[in-house]
Amino acid sequence: MQHHVGSLENIAKQVIYEDELSSLSKHSPAAPNAVIQGTASSTSELILLVEDNSDVVAYTAGCLPDYRLAVAKDGREGYDIACDLVPDLIITDVMMPYVDGYALTRLLRADERTSHIPIIMLTAKADIESKLEGIEQGVDVYLEKPFYREELLLRVKKLLEQRKLLQKAYAKMAGFSDPSGLTDSSGTIDGQIAAPPVEVPVKENEFVKKVRQEIENNLSDEYFGVEELSKKILLSQSQLHRKLTAVTGHSPNYFIRLIRTQKACELLKTTDQPIAHIAASCGFSDSSYFGKVFKQEMGMTPMEWRNGEG
């Protein structure tokens, strides 16, 4: 799949109007799409905008120069692109052809690949019934049209921060260090405000548990890597990377390494097995490499860990 980078206006018009996009494959996950890079770096968060009005696309893109932006012209295309790219956040209109914003939200929340993604809904329908329907389907934030740039930016920022707090919650549950760096040792965010307790969504918790279980089931297999894990989880390698990194803050490769190291820590404390045997049972055939990885993660050698030093 190719992702094109160009001027905001040209890409907005391209996404909305080009004939080839109008005839995209029916419900195909390989539907073409464009990513507007703008001034954002290649590591900036990716936002998917699902909107059929080219003026709103251009205005919204102009509000978000520090983020990468993918654009879909209706809910059907939006769902396909979301499953393919697994963006960090989705902004969607309510009224669209084929699949509206409510149906799109329902599809996204039901799909394991996209269930974790925060959703902002843009709507001209300000009545309480419409808002309640969106919340029922899983919308995180409502923004009424016309919306202010400052409010959109603040909403995006806060939703992405909430994602990082969830990463911290998963790291704590798994016994890992905070991957986001958002909170310090005092439990505050950037040393300013206390981090509120975060409720871990059931669906995402089940996903992380499933990934961890597959790794543990193949712990002694030194060749069990990201490719094998993605096949077990039934996701592509890129989908697994985007999903697991978004949820836990760790890439699949690093997550596998952490699980292996964590199991080695347990065996070193609870058994008297030789270190070389423990290394092999955790997927490290080379004892010296195991020692290097262990010290990188734990700050001490396996023997020091076993003896309670450090």
Residues 21 and 119 in one domain: yes
Residue 39 lies in a domain: yes
Residues 246 and 135 in one domain: no
pLDDT tens, 36-54?
655 667 788 999 999 999 9
Instruction: Clarify whether residues 139 and 268 are in a common domain.
Output: no
Co-location of 143 and 211 in the same domain: no
User: Does residue 224 share a domain with residue 94?
Assistant: no
pLDDT in tens, 144-155: 888 899 999 999
Are residues 135 and 37 located together in one domain of the fold? yes
**How high is the pLDDT of residue 177?**
54
Q: Is residue 103 located within the same domain as residue 224?
A: no
Do the domain assignments include residue 51?
yes
- Domain-terminating residue out of 100, 119, 147: 147
pLDDT bracket for residue 199 (50, 70, 90): low
Token readout for 54 is: 């080219």
Pick from 212, 175, 216, 171: nearest CA to 195: 171
Residue 87: which CATH number?
3.40.50.2300
- Contacts of residue 133, defined as CB under 8 A and 6 or more positions apart, other chains included, come to 102
> Which range of residues forms the domain containing residue 121?
8-147
**Model pLDDT, residue 6:** 38
31 and 122, same domain (yes or no): yes
What is the pLDDT, as a whole number, of residue 29? 41
Of residues 26 and 111, more confidently modeled: 111
Question: In terms of domains, do 236 and 139 share one?
Answer: no
- Is the previous residue joined to 32 through a cis bond, with omega within 30 degrees of 0? no
* Residues above pLDDT 90, as percent of the chain: 59
For the stretch 5-27, pLDDT in tens is: 334 444 443 433 333 233 333 33
- Residue 271 is part of a domain; what is its CATH number? 1.10.10.60
> Does residue 13 share a domain with residue 133?
yes
Band the pLDDT of 173: cuts 50, 70, 90.
Answer: low
**Which pLDDT value is given to residue 189?**
35
Q: Is position 72 within any domain?
A: yes
Q: How far apart are CA 169 and CA 5, in angstroms?
A: 35
- % of the chain at pLDDT higher than 70: 75
The pTM (predicted TM-score) of the whole model is 0.74
In a domain, 181, yes or no: no
Instruction: Write the single-letter amino acid at 71.
Output: V
Count of domains for the chain: 2
* Strands ordered across the beta sheet of 34-36: 34-36, 68-72, 46-50, 89-93, 119-123, 141-144
Residue 180 counted as domain residue: no
Residue 218 lies in a domain: yes
- Tell me: do 243 and 118 sit in the same domain: no
What integer best gives the mean pLDDT of the chain? 81
Question: Which range, 145-149, 194-198, 229-233, is most confident?
Answer: 229-233
Sequence length of the chain is: 310
Last residue of a domain, one of 120, 147, 174: 147
**Is residue 158 in some structural domain?**
no
pLDDT tens, residue by residue, 56-109: 999 999 999 999 999 999 999 999 999 999 999 999 999 998 999 999 999 999
pLDDT at 284: 96
Tell whether 167 is covered by a domain: no
Say if residue 243 is in the same domain as residue 143.
Answer: no
**Is the predicted pLDDT of residue 198 greater than 60, yes or no?**
no
Question: Cα Rg for the chain, rounded, in angstroms?
Answer: 22
HSE-CB for 201 with a 13 A CA cutoff:
19
